[in-house]
Structure 1
């Protein structure tokens, strides 16, 4: 079978688990799976989300044997409504649609028994507290499962003979960021808390526990806290969280079994409820045999991993900020996607007026920046679509309401994960960069922008950014036949003396003269950059053993000739240090060695002047 799935928030625990299990089960059963959705929604502005929604209308649904719908993962910025409207308004007959975890009218529904999940947790808490002094945190008021979970809590309270106190009901949002607000709501004027607080999911329980601990409370000694859904780190937190769950494995298997039966012509129930089970842990006084030091070490590792991802975003943002052409942006994107080693193949596809076009892809043989046009009624060209038991994720390439195309990520079945924040950052920044480059083209000539960005305004030679852009291809090329290169650190002598005695305009003329002297001695393929002030860096191609010596002699000769032409009250002079560069990783070390050699010459000149 060929299956289409719509899933949002792909790097979140639930969505990630669903995709991983779908991938494994589809491979075992011989199904092909295409997944369309998003990693996250960077803005709640409805105009900014239009580009994100484009992925929902990308596939031709009539080509599939079945559709899986995880609509509760697409509930940001109207994405869920857009998708449901598309599905219900189509005039063509669609294959069977199965909704996981969220009841959608007109479709088959595989649903957790939310009432039962909460009932089991609430009964456990009430039996421990033996009081009605129990707080409750609802889920989002616009979601049906939130009301179902509240119904389970209320049923357990009534069965135990207690009334619901609305003053102890806080309306939550299903996310961790309401911890401080939730704590403020439940902490009384005397500093006391309810005996227990039952949260409608684990995320809200985490946020509340973290905030209470910061304020000096102990869990469960001062208050018991529970969640629902058993998110992956709920057993690793301190204290570990009492919760309940329906395993994603169970949901996916029931969904696949149901689809296979419907496709085979069997009748099945329109709604299947899946029961869960209670998991008792430390947050309600449950015992554990885990090593507390090991638990703290794990939390420390998770914190460092979080900071590592934040740093990755900073580096990514910087790299994309340096790109000045579409090919640069494509190169960066393919490099980052291939470096993750999570995918068998990755494709960048751009929409054309009447067709679609691959603008670059990477596979086991490296990256390929080439353009391949194919019909708009296909997601990829035919020759990339031969394997049948394959899982692909389709994510939009967009910026706000402007849609450029989509990314296709072909999952590697051996990879431990497949989507994380770095993937999201990469695709998001790629879209932003395409938008910036489009704007440049509209406002300026491309060459003018390039010159403004990579050239020094005074001398016309490269600036530091131009140096980095130009040397990268020479060193990142893995070709064994690439030419050997050397860096020459060149520092103008006595610039301060010229500025102080003859004025800064004279100093500027002297700097330009030195730049011209360097440029006049370079061969084809070599270049020079002004790195700042009176400092220059030249890159020499060592096509012969005499190249370094020839450059030094030619440069000295050029300075002599410049002094004759200038006929100034000062004399141009510069110090040089040169070092060969082996590879990209040794570039900075080679530049430092060239600097050291240059400063030795400069020091010798100063000592000679003193004598």
Structure 2
């Protein structure tokens, strides 16, 4: 059932009930949260959202341009966790969607929403959009090299093909060169990717090119520029004396670099701030422009020779220094420690304990490890055949109910109740003292979904490549335990096949030899006696001749089942075609007498049911047994010989009665 609430937006009745309080919920869909730019956008969203009574729920995945398909599926799957219809608005970091499959998944997800959607950094369909005039800013960079440094040999490193920002920056390069009558040479253009590989590729092409060395290299972002700087310096080139380099995005790493990068300071934080404001303005019924463009600023640096070394660091640089030199140094040590703990463990409980220790060490405000309610069964209990037969959808799916394996808040672990997965985290929809920012990250191995982590008001996931490494390691560790568990299960299954009879499931003679030794030791240790019984089916040959071997097999299986069912602690062995041995530790003869009385009654019930259902064959067992005092010299063969004679005596007695 659906009803109208909240400024005319459709919501289901459950949401209206849950949201009857002051905090709205805004979802953010993003990748590349480990980069400084995305982290700054998040700072803007968080600042404006919290100030205006909004929880921020960030669903983050980490995929690069060259991502393997299965790993990518496991990452992007986090967007399928929440029911986005429960949120007041959605912010999409669209400038980082470099994988076409991911773009298609997100477009399909967004198309069903009725709440306002704001895209940051790149346009998607007809949604609200906030970005910067990246074309104009890149023009300033290229013009700076042409007019201030009089460069005519300028190399360009492109972003991801088809990315709007990357395409606009490349177009600016082409236009400035054309306007200044500088030849555009294909050999001076590298197809990059906004990541490290793009910078490495540019270095290879520049060094191996037959063209004269470029005077300047303009990169579509800071990451590629930094990578290029590093490779060229290793090869003996001086920056900026031999080659000038520029980036784009004004990252902390770029400003800490020696030389500091010439770049463009994007208004990332303002973009996030504006995106959140747009959503709230729409919800309040205000008139909001479909597109807002912010001005960027060119920042000359030492990498083009325009800034002297030793200049005071800006706020972003100091923030970056603090993150890397203090927080991350501690974090590296903790990550090494947690990896050692995980490597030493071989069961899931070890993984869980290593996780708890890590959380205690990094001391987040709040943390939760959430898994599907069938996590233990599907990951650690089901066998290889069943697990490998799971469809892709089954491997990726979230269950309707989510269990919380680890809950941590205010320095202590506590138990948290399960909740429905469509909320992603139910406390966002409950009353609380203040709004919070929740960051959701998937726990997976390739396309196998294990669950997700939730960090609340924590710096750990933001602008931190080590966080990505930690996520991958945690997923890999569960997968290793899963595989070890499957291997152990396979070994047990093979062992069972070795010691079990395939027809009845009872033990065979190999099993008998093994468990006799164990029983003997148990009896000696606990001062118990040993029951040994020998039984033989009566008239099986006649049943086979009259009704066929299939009916005979049914009788054979039924006998084994009855012998085992009446005492779970006893071992039932199929000794021959129609012969059984029963072994068991017992206190006295009375227990043995009671056991065989139960067997006799069970056989009678079986035959009565067969007769009523007009099934062929009558089950009858001749049995001989004895309870032995156990000593070190007790031999099984001697025991079987004695009870075998008793069994034959029972069989002869039956024949005489006939």
Normalization by structure 1: what TM-score?
0.65
1:156 counterpart = 2:200: no
1:261-297 alpha-carbon deviations (Å, 9 max, x no partner): 21122232222222211111112221325179xx9xx
2:425 to 376, 380, 384: 380
Deviation of 1:394 after TM superposition, in Å, equals 0.9
1:338 and 2:338 are equivalent in the alignment: no
Question: Retained in 2: the 8 A contact 1:138–1:146?
Answer: yes
Distance change in 2, residues 1:288/1:372 (3 Å):
same
Which sits farther off after the overlay, 280-289 or 109-118?
Answer: 280-289
How far did residue 381 of structure 1 move? 4.5
SS in 2 for 1:235: helix
The match for 1:219 is 239
> How many Å separate the matches in 1 of 2:411 and 2:297?
47
Counterpart for residue 161 of structure 2 = 141
SS at match of 2:71: coil
Determine the structure 2 residue equivalent to 1:436. Answer: 480
Q: 1:420 aligns with which of 459, 464, 469?
A: 464
The aligned counterpart of 1:260 is: 280
Task: Mark the CA change 1:254 to 1:63 in structure 2 (over 3 Å): closer, same or farther.
Answer: same
Q: Which segment drifts farther, 170-179 or 111-120?
A: 170-179
Matched, 1:173 2:219: no
* Alignment deviations for residues 315-364 of structure 1 (CA, whole Å, 9 cap, x no partner): 43331122233332222212212321233343434344542211221112
TM, length-normalised to structure 2: 0.60
1:85-104 residue pairs with structure 2 within 5 A? 85-88=108-111, 90=112, 93-104=113-124
Measure how far apart 1:99 and its partner are.
Answer: 0.6
Question: Paired residue for 2:404?
Answer: 358
Q: Any stretches of 5+ residues in structure 2 without a counterpart? A: 1-23, 375-398, 494-658
CA distance in 1, matches of 2:454, 2:122: 27
CA distance in 2, matches of 1:375, 1:336: 27
11, 31, 37: which one pairs with 2:54?
31
| Structure 1 residue matching 2:95: 3-state secondary structure | helix
Show CA shifts across 1:436-490 (max 9, x none). Answer: 33444444359989xxxxxxxxxxxxxxxxxxxxxxxxxxxxxxxxxxxxxxxxx
Would the aligned equivalents of 1:117 and 1:228 in 2 still touch at CA under 8 Å? no
In structure 2, relative to structure 1, the CA distance for the partners of 1:231 and 1:435 (3 Å cut) is same
**Are 2:65 and 2:98, in contact at CA under 8 Å, matched by a contact in 1?**
no
Are 1:409 and 2:455 an aligned pair? yes
Give the match for residue 370 of structure 2. 348
1:371, 1:442 → 2: CA distance? 30
Per-residue CA deviations over 1:48-106 (Å, capped at 9, x if unaligned) read 33222221111111111110001333435833332222222x3xx42111010011112
Residue by residue over 1:167-203, the C-alpha shift from the partner in whole angstroms, topping out at 9 and shown as x without a partner, is: 3212212123344432332247789512222111111
**Aligned counterparts of 1:436 and 1:188: Cα–Cα separation in 2:** 43
State which of 331, 337, 350 in structure 2 corresponds to 1:328: 350
1:533 maps to which residue? none
Partner secondary structure for residue 308 of structure 2: coil
Q: Distance in 2 between matches of 1:372 and 1:447?
A: 36
C-alpha deviation, 1:30, in angstroms: 1.7
Aligned counterpart, 1:395: 441
Cα separation, 2, equivalents of 1:31 and 1:49: 30
Q: Bigger radius of gyration, 1 or 2? A: 2
Q: Does 2:92 match 1:72?
A: no
- Equivalent of residue 184 in structure 1, options 201, 204, 207: 204
Unaligned 5+ segments in structure 1 are 450-611
Go from structure 1 to structure 2 and tell me whether the alpha carbon gap of 1:410 and 1:241 turns closer, same or farther (over 3 Å shift).
same
Cα deviation, 1:107-151, whole Å, max 9, x if unaligned, reads: 111122111111010111100343532221111213122111111
8 A Cα contact 1:343 1:418, kept in partner: no
CA contact (8 A) 1:10 1:419 kept: yes
Q: How many pairs were matched up?
A: 440
Q: Which residue of 2 aligns with 1:16?
A: 39
CA-CA distance at 1:416 after TM superposition: 8.4
| Structure 2 counterpart of 1:114 | 134
Query: Considering only aligned residues, what root-mean-square deviation do their CA atoms show, in Å?
Result: 3.5
CA offsets 1:531-577 (integer angstroms, 9 cap, x no match): xxxxxxxxxxxxxxxxxxxxxxxxxxxxxxxxxxxxxxxxxxxxxxx
The CA distance in 1 between the partners of 2:241 and 2:367, in whole Å, is 52
